[in-house]
Amino acid sequence: MGNNDALAPRSETGVPLWEYQESRENPDLAAIRDRSGLWINGEETEPLTGKWFLTIDPATEGHLSMVAEAGPADVERAVGAARDAAAGWAAMPATERAKSLFRIARLIQERSRELAVLDTLDGGKPIREARDMDLPLVAAHFFYHAGWADKLEYAFLGTEPRPMGVVGQVIPWNFPLLMAAWKVAPALATGNTVVLKPAETTPLSALRLAEIAAEAGLPPGVLNVIPGAGATGAELVGHGGVDKVAFTGSTQVGKEIRRRLAGSGKALTLELGGKGAHVVFEDAPLDQAVEGVVNGIFFNQGQVCCAGSRLLVQESVASEFVDRLRRRLSTLRVGDPLDKNTDIGAINSAAQLQRITELVESGQEEGALIYQPPCELPERGFWFPPTLFTDVSQSHRIAREEIFGPVLSILTFRTPAEAVERANNTPYGLASGVWTSKGSRILWMADRLAAGVVWANTYNKFDPASPFGGVKESGFGREGGRHGLAAYLRGVG
Amino acid sequence: MPPTDEVMVEERVAALSTRSIKREAKMWALRAAISMTDLTTLEGMDTKEKVRQLCHKAIRPDPTDASIPPVAAVCVYPNLVGTAAEVLGATSVRVAAVSTYFPSGQAPLDLKVAETRQVVADGADEVDMVIDRGAFLAGDYVKVFSEVATVREAAGDACLKVILETGELGSYDNVRRASMLAMAAGADFIKTSTGKVSPAATPAVTLVMLESIRDFHRSTGRAVGMKPAGGIGSAKQAIRWLVLLNETLGLEWMTPQRFRFGASSLLNDLLMQIRWLETERYQSPDYFTRA
């Protein structure tokens, strides 16, 4: 076989090389315009503030678009438009509301490539994830809620479900379009009108969604999108014309909103931070648990509220498991988010990168051991390599605070009871994962883990029919399923 | 031996199937796949003439392009080993023989040993044996192990590939257990299937076997090869398998010494895809020889 050996390209040390060639999605598909105005009352409009801010591609720091910044007068206009549209939308036959949602879902499917590229450019996530996770789920949420629109009486038997009225929604930058879908689809299906404020670093796909909704025949004023920073969000949630507020974001801001809304009579749901725990028992399918842990913490660069950012592994398999995990890390491909072979893309913003960097430094200062696989990071843009910490104590900041980055803190435990105690020893309670081949232990753990979601032998599984939300400081209220509908209805108990 | 969970195995395989292999990386993969192919004919209707034809194809897969490498081996029934050896004798292409009462393996051990000695004496460089799935499923792992070890002995210096017939094993846990047994008993390669049972080589089963090879290598230092066989008929599938290999065992395994495709129709699709990459045109299948 000697002559076959020469086929493999080899490095200087004789190791064969097979580098995947770059396979880059076309950025022009996103069709980004130089200026992106507010979307109020069914049309794009200039901001009364006269202010515009720049949104960039975090992978290159390249300019994408100047985006209108909504001020108090714009919030007034948007809430006013939603108010004016509310009665008509609520009174419309539910089957007609359903048709609009079905049309939106179909248009999203047809334009999914464009929308995936748009979120990848604006947010830095790998195109593979935008294409295979975000967009299918976005369409699924609209399809699912379209189906509910004319069946609300059957979802809540013996009640008379009525819409809340005008809903003010504030969403984060980690899943720009998906979070918009999670918020908008149930609100519209239940007959509410919406004013949505996307995150300032990722406003483009929410604005595109508003265009798509108009194209689908949604009446003017039913969905309004007003980009801006924290001040715009504060203005929106505090506006007297808003009946219900739904917020996804940090626990700190969630607490401020709750304080502000106390006594206002507004309904509120909050989906906040997390410090999810993966609990890996000695009888776990180790190779698959490695995949789940990798997916849990490196999905979207770890910028996921339900990220499994703590690994609790049973002492008897800890060193073997960490060894497998390290080797797996070395195969992760970090780089250009538009390359279809990229596993880990860019951090969303300079501010977020700084927060991750600061927390990782604290981990090293507090004595945890850091591991980062060798990988070259691009020179421009915001990047952080996949990172593991071992020798982490429960008291370290990296074990307690939400990092929102590709950083995993590894702790050990000896008994199931200790695993539960450690997993629950956090102010958060959004999601956790259990890895064991023993069915009874999965149920035992699920009963005891204080988390809105417990995944067993898998992680990051989402479905519009399955309610998602937290306990403790991870918030309250559910998105998805029948529970998610209830959050947008009056009179359902 | 850790258990295997099928949900995440299939998820991992699905994620790797989206790898996009383009241009030079693809060209390298297509040529490498040819060099890793065990060109196979295992039919009751095989004749000497059919095997001769196949051997010539193996040596020179594309008569119009001398840069195309020969395949790794030609795989035939014991009766035809001598014929293959006559044609392939002085070339780099090796003679592989199925043995141990392929495909069922339902025969006494002394017959299996005798058959193995015979094919090696007739000129086989490589022996593809089957495990006793009946014994395996009955839990008689000692019998499975000792049969492989005995055939290993009988095969002498020949490369021993052990066919697990994963389509009959029923679970990924069993695939992993059979892989470990075969490797511990001295297999040079572990191979998925005979090609006579469906499903044959699936990406998920291949991943579980590759992970077993990785674990065996880590604990013993011995590098065992992998041979998926049955059902891999297109270049696109072959590239998918090479991605699995690359991301599980790494580049050290991406050679014909450690990875083979057991296939018959795959070769011409690889040749067609190479021609397409070179000319950006699809050629008629009539331009490629059929052996």
- Distance in Å from the first CA to the final CA of chain A: 75
Task: Output phi, psi for A52, to 5 deg.
Answer: -130, 145
What is the pLDDT, as a whole number, of residue A17?
Answer: 65
Distance CA A198, CA A138 (A): 15
**Does B17 contact A at CB distance below 8 Å?**
no
Residues of A taking part in catalysis: 271, 305
What is the pLDDT, as a whole number, of residue A3?
Answer: 39
What is the pLDDT, as a whole number, of residue A13?
Answer: 54
Interface touch A4/B92, C-beta < 8 Å: yes
- Considering only CB atoms, B28 lies closest to which of A9, A22, A283, namely A9
Residue A354 pLDDT > 90, yes or no?
yes
- What is the residue whose two structure tokens read 């077993």? B212
**Does B209 contact A at CB distance below 8 Å?**
no
Q: Which residues of A touch B22 (CB under 8 A)?
A: 20-23
Cα–Cα distances (Å) from A65 to A33, A36, A175, A347, in that order, read: 6, 7, 19, 19
By the 8 A CB rule, do A163 and A191 touch?
yes
One-letter identity of residue A226: I
Give A117-172 pLDDT, tens digit per residue: 999 999 999 999 999 999 999 999 999 999 999 999 999 999 999 999 999 999 99
Contacts of A77 (CB under 8 A, 6+ apart): A40, A41, A45, A48
**Does B247 contact A at CB distance below 8 Å?**
yes
Interface touch B70/A3, C-beta < 8 Å: yes
DSSP 8-state code for residue B259:
B
Task: Report residue A384's pLDDT band, with 50, 70 and 90 as the boundaries.
Answer: very high
Interface touch A4/B22, C-beta < 8 Å: no
Interface touch B11/A22, C-beta < 8 Å: no
Cα–Cα distances (Å) from B5 to A377, B12, B193, in that order, read: 34, 11, 21
Q: Where are the beta strands (DSSP E) in A212-334?
A: 223-225, 244-248, 267-271, 277-280, 310-314
Residue B93 pLDDT > 50, yes or no?
yes
Q: Is B143 considered catalytic here? A: no
Look up the pTM and report it: 0.95
The size of the A-B interface in CB pairs under 8 A is 100
Task: Report residue A6's pLDDT band, with 50, 70 and 90 as the boundaries.
Answer: very low
Tokens of B210: 């590759």
Average pLDDT over residues A343-353: 98
The DSSP secondary structure of A84-100, one letter per residue, reads: HHHHHHHHS-HHHHHHH
Domains, chain B, in order of start with CATH, read: 6-279 (3.20.20.70)
By the 8 A CB rule, do A404 and A302 touch?
yes
Distance CA A281, CA A438 (A): 9
Tokens of A372: 């980062």
Q: Which residues of B touch A458 (CB under 8 A)?
A: 7-8, 11
Interface touch B29/A18, C-beta < 8 Å: yes
Q: What residue in A sits closest to B37 (Cα-Cα)?
A: A4
Side-chain-side CA neighbours of residue B267 (13 Å): 31
Distance CA A73, CA A252 (A): 26
DSSP 8-state code for residue A139:
H
Interface of A with B (CB under 8 A): 1-5, 7-9, 15-23, 128, 132, 283-289, 291-292, 331, 340-341, 437, 457-458
Cα–Cα distances (Å) from A73 to A169, A197, A242, in that order, read: 17, 15, 15
Q: What residue in B sits closest to A129 (Cα-Cα)?
A: B15
Tokens of B59: 């040596």
The CA-based diameter of chain B, rounded to the nearest angstrom, is: 55
Give A307-334 pLDDT, tens digit per residue: 999 999 999 999 999 999 999 999 999 9
B-interface mutation test, from A17, A18, A132, A314, most B Cβ less than 10 A away: A18
Interface touch A288/B92, C-beta < 8 Å: no
Topology annotation, domain A31-272+471-490: Aldehyde Dehydrogenase; Chain A, domain 1 (3.40.605)
Task: Report residue A9's pLDDT band, with 50, 70 and 90 as the boundaries.
Answer: low
By the 8 A CB rule, do A197 and A228 touch?
yes
- Considering only CB atoms, B72 lies closest to which of A4, A21, A457, namely A4
CA distance A294 to chain B (A): 11
The DSSP secondary structure of B214-249, one letter per residue, reads: HHHHHHH----EEE-BSS--SHHHHHHHHHHHHHHT
Tokens of A303: 């910028």
Residue B92 pLDDT > 60, yes or no?
yes
Interface touch B18/A4, C-beta < 8 Å: no
Average pLDDT over residues A15-33: 88
Distance CA A22, CA A31 (A): 22
Average pLDDT over residues A89-94: 97
Task: Output phi, psi for A438, to 5 deg.
Answer: -100, 110
CA distance A286 to chain B (A): 6
What is the pLDDT, as a whole number, of residue B70?
Answer: 98
CA distance A172 to chain B (A): 26
Give B193-222 pLDDT, tens digit per residue: 999 999 999 999 999 999 999 999 999 999
Question: Please, which residues bridge with residue B89 across strands?
Answer: none
Contacts of A94 (CB under 8 A, 6+ apart): A149, A150, A152, A191
Residue A2 pLDDT > 60, yes or no?
no
Q: What residue in B sits closest to A127 (Cα-Cα)?
A: B18
What is the pLDDT, as a whole number, of residue A1?
Answer: 34
Interface touch A18/B28, C-beta < 8 Å: yes
Residue A8 pLDDT > 80, yes or no?
no
ipTM reported for the complex, 2 dp: 0.92
Give A431-480 pLDDT, tens digit per residue: 999 999 999 999 999 999 999 999 999 999 999 999 999 999 999 999 99
CATH number of A277-456: 3.40.309.10
- Considering only CB atoms, B35 lies closest to which of A7, A331, A437, namely A7
- What is the residue whose two structure tokens read 């992978």? A59
DSSP 8-state code for residue A10:
B
Interface touch A20/B25, C-beta < 8 Å: yes
Distance CA A367, CA A392 (A): 8
By the 8 A CB rule, do A293 and A408 touch?
yes
Distance CA A24, CA A336 (A): 8
Q: Which residues of A touch B9 (CB under 8 A)?
A: 287-288
Q: What residue in B sits closest to A22 (Cα-Cα)?
A: B22
Interface touch B11/A331, C-beta < 8 Å: no
What is the pLDDT, as a whole number, of residue B152?
Answer: 98
What is the pLDDT, as a whole number, of residue A10?
Answer: 57
Question: Please, which residues bridge with residue A163 across strands?
Answer: A489
Q: Which residues of B touch A284 (CB under 8 A)?
A: 2-3
By the 8 A CB rule, do A170 and A237 touch?
yes
Q: What residue in B sits closest to A128 (Cα-Cα)?
A: B18
Question: Please, which residues bridge with residue A313 across strands?
Answer: A280, A412
Distance CA A405, CA A300 (A): 9
Tokens of B38: 């065990």
Q: Where are the beta strands (DSSP E) in A249-386?
A: 267-271, 277-280, 310-314, 369-371
Domain ranges of chain A: 31-272+471-490, 277-456
A-interface mutation test, from B91, B174, B251, most A Cβ less than 10 A away: B251
Average pLDDT over residues B54-65: 96
Give A222-249 pLDDT, tens digit per residue: 999 999 999 999 999 999 999 999 999 9
Average pLDDT over residues A195-220: 98
Q: In whole numbers, what is the pLDDT of chain A averaged over residues?
A: 96
Q: What residue in B sits closest to A459 (Cα-Cα)?
A: B8
Task: Report residue A79's pLDDT band, with 50, 70 and 90 as the boundaries.
Answer: very high
Q: Which residues of A touch B19 (CB under 8 A)?
A: 20, 340-341
Q: Spot the catalytic one: B57, B112, B161, B191.
A: B191
Task: Report residue A5's pLDDT band, with 50, 70 and 90 as the boundaries.
Answer: very low
Task: Report residue A261's pLDDT band, with 50, 70 and 90 as the boundaries.
Answer: very high
Q: Which residues of B touch A23 (CB under 8 A)?
A: 20-22
Q: Which residues of A touch B2 (CB under 8 A)?
A: 284-287
A-interface mutation test, from B12, B20, B27, most A Cβ less than 10 A away: B20
Q: Which residues of A touch B20 (CB under 8 A)?
A: 20, 23, 340-341
Residue A4 pLDDT > 50, yes or no?
no
- Considering only CB atoms, A285 lies closest to which of B2, B32, B256, namely B2
What is the pLDDT, as a whole number, of residue A21?
Answer: 87
Q: Spot the catalytic one: B128, B132, B188, B269.
A: B128
Residue A18 pLDDT > 90, yes or no?
no
Residue B56 pLDDT > 50, yes or no?
yes
Secondary element (H or E) of residue B268: helix B266-279
